[in-house]
Amino acid sequence: MLVEGGVSPSSRVSTRSLMYVLCTFLFAVGSYILTPFFAIYVSDSLGFGLAFAGSLITIKIVVQRGLSIVGGALSDQYPSHQVAMLGVAARCFSYLLLAINPTEVTLVLSAVLNGVGSALFHPSVRKLLFLPYKDNDALLQKVIVWRSMSLNTGTAIGPVIGSLLISEHFSAACIAIAAIYACSVVVFIGARAETDDQARPTPMPLSVNTVRQAISLQVLSVLKLQFAFIFLYSHLEYLLPVFVEQTFSTKMVAAMFMVNSFVVILLQSKIAKLALGANAIQLSLVVVFGLLYLASEISDDRLYWAPAALLLGVVVFSVFEIACSFRVDYQLTKVSDDSLSGTVFGCASAIAALAFLLANAVNYWLYEWLGFANLWASYLGVCSLAFLFSYISNKEKF
HEC secondary structure over 236-275: HHCHHHHHHHHHCCHHHHHHHHHHHHHHHHHHHHHHHHHC
Residues of the chain above pLDDT 70, percent: 86
pLDDT band at residue 9 using 50, 70 and 90 as cut-offs: very low
Strands (E), 141-277: none
Q: What is the pLDDT of residues 19-66, one digit of tens each?
A: 999 999 999 999 888 877 777 778 777 788 877 887 888 788 888 878
Q: What is the mean pLDDT of residues 64-84?
A: 88
Residues 168, 303: Cα–Cα separation, whole Å? 39
Q: Which of 26-30, 71-75, 91-95, 235-239 has the lowest mean pLDDT?
A: 235-239
193 contacts: CB under 8 Å, gap ≥ 6: 4, 5, 6, 16, 79, 80, 81, 128
Please check the confidence at residue 102 and state whether its pLDDT lies above 60: yes
pLDDT for position 143: 93
Please check the confidence at residue 206 and state whether its pLDDT lies above 70: no
pLDDT for position 87: 94
Q: What is the pLDDT of residues 265-282, one digit of tens each?
A: 888 877 776 656 667 777
| Spatial contact of 57 and 65, defined as CB atoms under 8 Å apart | no
pLDDT band at residue 283 using 50, 70 and 90 as cut-offs: confident
Nearest C-alpha neighbor of 383 from the set 246, 282, 248, 252 = 282
Please check the confidence at residue 91 and state whether its pLDDT lies above 80: yes
Q: What is the mean pLDDT of residues 311-315?
A: 85
pLDDT for position 179: 94
Radius of gyration of the chain (CA): 21
pLDDT for position 112: 93
Nearest C-alpha neighbor of 267 from the set 193, 195, 205, 323 = 323
Please check the confidence at residue 317 and state whether its pLDDT lies above 50: yes
Q: What is the pLDDT of residues 80-90, one digit of tens each?
A: 889 999 999 99
Q: What is the pLDDT of residues 230-244, one digit of tens each?
A: 888 877 777 777 788
Nearest C-alpha neighbor of 310 from the set 260, 356, 265, 371 = 260
Please check the confidence at residue 392 and state whether its pLDDT lies above 80: no
Please check the confidence at residue 199 and state whether its pLDDT lies above 60: no
pLDDT for position 197: 41
151 contacts: CB under 8 Å, gap ≥ 6: 24, 25, 28
Q: Which domains does the chain have, with CATH numbers?
A: 15-203 (1.20.1250.20), 217-393 (1.20.1250.20)
pLDDT for position 218: 84
Nearest C-alpha neighbor of 393 from the set 265, 222, 279, 306 = 279
